[in-house]
Amino acid sequence: MHHPGPPRFTTVGTAVELAPRNPSEGIESAIEWSIVDAPGDSDASLGSDAVEHLTPDEPGQYRLRMTAPDGPHELTVRAYPDVSRPVRFAVEAGQLPEAEDVWISAPFNEHILGRDRARHEGGQYVFETELPPGRRSVAFVPDEDYHSAARDTVDIEGPERPRVELDATVEDGTVVFEAVPRAGPTTDERSGDLGVEFFLDDRDTLEGSLAIDGTTARCELAAIEDSIRVHAVAVGARHSIADTVTVSTDGDVTYPNEPPAWTDDATMYEIFTRSFTGQADATFRALERRVPYLEWLGIDTLWMTPILESYAPQRDDDGYERGGPHGYHTLDYFRTAPDLGTREEFESFVETCHDHGVRVVFDLVVNHTSKHHRNFQLASAGVEDYEQWYRFDDDGGAENYFAWNSIPNLNYDSLAVREHVLSIVEEWAPVVDGFRCDVAWGVPHGFWQEVRERVKAEDSEFLLLDETIPRDPLAHENAFDLHYDTTLYGRLLEIGRGDRSAESLLDGVRAEQREGFPSRAMQLRYIENHDEDRYLAEHGRDAQRAAAAATLTLPGMPMVYYGQETGMTHFRKPMEWDGDDELTRFHRRLIQTRNEHAVLRRGDLEDVAFESETDRAVAFAREYQGRRVIVLLHFGNGAASVSVGESLATTDLVTDEAIDVARAGGETTVSVATVAVLEAVGE
C-alpha cells in the first residue's frame, strides 16, 4: 500500500515531508497531492511532485489526499502554534581568524554552510533568529574552516514540551485508551491542566469513531477491522511527542514506540572496525577470532562502524588514513568491503557473535554516498535518470553537511532514492540485529517511520539507534528506539573539566524530561565514540574511570568504545591490546556488576542526600523490586569522603570486597576512590 503513513504533528511554519510508501518504478507520475480541508485562514498549498512538503501557516488540522495507483489515501496533519522566541548568538571577533565569510552552522539550518551568514558588529560576530525554547548552540565558521570555529550557546526561555504515555485495556468487549499527560519538570504548567488529543491512524478502519472524554477514549472491540493504531498528543503551551498503541481484533495490545525488551539489560560496545584487530589486518575472520573477548568483557551488543565497500580517504602526514578508512564514503551498498572479506565471512562473524551471546548492530549510512559512487558520477554528468538522486544548489554544487565535500547528500524527494534505500534496508536487516543510523537527522522523519514499520514487522526485537546531534525527542515518534544521549555526554565533559560539580550529573540525566523525550525512550550513555576525543586524553585517568562508572550505573544503555577500557588516547588508531590491564579489569568488573544486579539495569533513579568535602563527588540511588543500592562516584584524584543519610552494607558490589564505612545515627560515611555501590539496609 502506498499510504503515506501515520498522522503527522508539527508547528506552524515547520514543513512536513509527504511521500508515498512502498515506492516502485512507474508510480511517480500517478501520485497527486491535494488539501481536502484546512483551517479557515490558511493559504497553504501543495505542488505537483510525488514527494511534497506542506508548511502549515495556521494552527489546526489539515486533511490531505494523495492519489496513487492503489487508490486515494487521506492523511491528517495537525499543526500546533509556533512557540519560537527571538534569540541572539554572538562571539568575539578575535576568536576567529580573518575570513571572507563567517557562516552559521547549527541544527536549524542542517549544518549547511552558505545558508546563514553572521554579521560583524561592535567587535563581535552576531547572528539573530527565532528558535523554540531550550538550550541552543551554533558554530560561527570562518569560510569552511570548522577547526577554527567558535561556538555560542544560549538558553531560550519558554515552555517545556509536555509528555504523554498512552495505554490500552480491553474490558468486556470495550477498548479503553488512557492517556497520562505530564508537564515539563521545571515548567509553570501542571500535568492536570494539560489537554490530550486522540487520533485514529488514517490507514485503519473503525466502525463509528472514538468516544473521547478528556484523557480517555473508547471504542468497541467488535468495531475494529483487523487492527487500529491510536495516537495521543498532550497539549499545553506546547505539544508533546505523540505516543501510539495498537489494538487487534482479538484484543492484543502492543506499543509501537516501545524499544525491544532486551535493551533494558544490554551493554553496547562500539568498534572502529578496521582498528579493532590492532596491528593485524582487519578482516571478518580476524574479527571473529576476537569475539570471545567481548563475551569475557561482558558485552552483549556490538556496534560496528560500516562494513560495506567504501572509498578510503588519503593518508595524513603520520601515514594514518585521515578519517578512515572509516567506511562512511559508501561506494556499494550491496557488497561488503573487499579488504574485510566476503558477505559469507561477515555472516559467519555475525553467527559467531550470536554463539557468544552478542547481538550485532550494523552502521546504516544512507544520508549520503561517496562522491565516487557510480550514481553521483552519473548525476553530476547530467544523466537524466540520476539527476534527481542528489541535492544540488542553484549553482549546481552538491549539497553536503558541515564541510563534508566528499559525501554529497542523497535527495529523498526522489522516489528512486527511497526505493533504493528501502532495498538496502531489506538486504541487511535479516542479517543483523539492529541499525545504527548515521546522520539520522539528515533523512526525513517520515522515511524512518517507514523503515521502522518494515523491520519491526519482520522482527519486533530489531533495534534502531539514531545519530541525532543534539538529540531530538521527535526521533522517538514511531521511529527510533535508542538515542545518543548528547546531553549527558556534554555534562560528563563539563564535570571532567571541572566546569560543573559532580552533582550536576543527575540534572544531565533528567534533562530528557525537560527536553520532552517520552518515558518509553531509551538513551545511549557514553563518554566517547569514533567522532569524539578520548575522555582519558582530555580529562585524565581518575575522571575517566568515574565517568565510565557513571554510564554503567545510571539508567539507560551504556556503551564502551573500543580501547576505552585499555587506556587508548587516540580515537581511531589500532586497538592497544597490551594497554592498561588494571583499567581493563576495572571496566570488566563494572560491566559484570551491572549484569549481575538487575537494580543497576532496571532500577529507578532517585536522589540521595549526601555530603562531601569536594564537589567532585556525587551519590544517587537505584531502586528495583524492593531492592535499593547507593552509588557513590568521585571524579577527582585520590579518595573522597562521602556521607549519606542511610545505613549501608559494607560490601562493595563492584569489587565484592568489604570496605570501611563509618555509621553514626543512621548516616554512613564512605571513603570513595572512584566508585562504590553499596546495598541500603534497614536500621
The string of pLDDT tens digits covering residues 576-616 is 999 999 999 999 999 999 999 999 999 999 999 999 999 99
Q: Three-state SS string across 192-251, please?
A: HHCEEEEEECCCCEECCCCEEECCEEEEEHHHEECEEEEEEEEECCCECCCEEEEEECCC
Q: Which residues contact 284 (CB under 8 A, 6 or more apart)?
A: 307, 336, 340, 341, 342, 345, 346, 348, 349
**Beta strand 640-644 with 163-171: parallel, antiparallel or unpaired?**
unpaired
* For residues 278-287, average pLDDT: 94
Give the whole-angstrom CA distance, residue 2 versus residue 17. 15
Residue 313: pLDDT over 90 = no
Residue 325: pLDDT over 80 = no
Helix (H) or strand (E) holding 430: none
pTM over 0.95: yes
Long-range pairs, 424-428, Cβ under 8 A, ≥24: 424/333, 424/334, 424/364, 424/366, 425/364, 425/451, 425/454, 425/455, 426/454, 427/333, 427/334, 428/362, 428/364
Residue 169: pLDDT over 90 = yes
Distances (CA, A) of 475 to 164, 257, 424, 436, 480: 15, 11, 21, 13, 6
Residue 315: pLDDT over 70 = no
Cβ(87)–Cβ(122) under 8 Å?
Answer: no
pLDDT at position 394: 84
Give the whole-angstrom CA distance, residue 613 versus residue 190. 37
The CA-based diameter of the chain, rounded to the nearest angstrom, is 81
pLDDT at position 317: 52
pLDDT at position 396: 86
pLDDT at position 683: 59
Report helix, strand and coil shares of the chain as percent, to nearest 5: 25, 35, 45
Strand order in the sheet with 667-672: 610-612, 640-644, 667-672, 661-664
* For residues 657-677, average pLDDT: 93
3-class state of residue 156 by DSSP: strand
Give the whole-angstrom CA distance, residue 646 versus residue 206. 55
**Beta strand 610-612 with 640-644: parallel, antiparallel or unpaired?**
antiparallel
* For residues 123-149, average pLDDT: 96
Could you tell me which of 617, 624, 631, 609 has the C-alpha nearest to residue 679? 631
Give the model confidence (pLDDT) of 464-475 as tens digits.
999 999 999 999
Residue 426 has phi, psi (to 5 degrees) of -70, -25
* For residues 236-263, average pLDDT: 97
Straight-line distance from the first to the last Cα atom of the chain, in angstroms, rounded to the nearest whole number = 63
Residue 571: pLDDT over 80 = yes
pLDDT more than 90, % of the chain: 94
pLDDT at position 321: 44
* For residues 49-72, average pLDDT: 97
Give the whole-angstrom CA distance, residue 549 versus residue 157. 33
3-class state of residue 136 by DSSP: strand
Neighbours of 122 (CB within 10 A): 7
Give the whole-angstrom CA distance, residue 569 versus residue 534. 5
Give the whole-angstrom CA distance, residue 452 versus residue 34. 27
pLDDT at position 324: 47
* For residues 662-666, average pLDDT: 86
Give the whole-angstrom CA distance, residue 266 versus residue 269. 10
Distances (CA, A) of 109 to 116, 138, 177, 389, 400: 8, 10, 38, 21, 12
Distances (CA, A) of 372 to 148, 366, 378, 407, 422: 28, 15, 10, 9, 21
Give helix 415-428 / helix 445-458 axis angle, nearest 10°.
30
Neighbours of 367 (CB within 10 A): 23
pLDDT at position 656: 96
Q: Three-state SS string across 604-628, please?
A: EEEECCEEECCCCEEEEEEEECCEE
Q: What is the mean pLDDT of the chain?
A: 95
Give the model confidence (pLDDT) of 402-420 as tens digits.
989 999 999 999 999 999 9
Residue 548 has phi, psi (to 5 degrees) of -60, -40
Residue 323: pLDDT over 90 = no
Q: Which residues contact 351 (CB under 8 A, 6 or more apart)?
A: none
Least reliable range by pLDDT among 17-21, 178-182, 278-282, 436-440: 278-282
CA 254 to chain centre: 22
* For residues 287-316, average pLDDT: 91
* For residues 304-317, average pLDDT: 80
Q: How many helices (H) and strands (E) does the chain have?
A: 12, 42
* For residues 434-441, average pLDDT: 98
Cβ(338)–Cβ(309) under 8 Å?
Answer: yes
pLDDT at position 319: 47
Give the whole-angstrom CA distance, residue 671 versus residue 639. 6
Residues with active-site annotation? 438, 467
3-class state of residue 486 by DSSP: helix
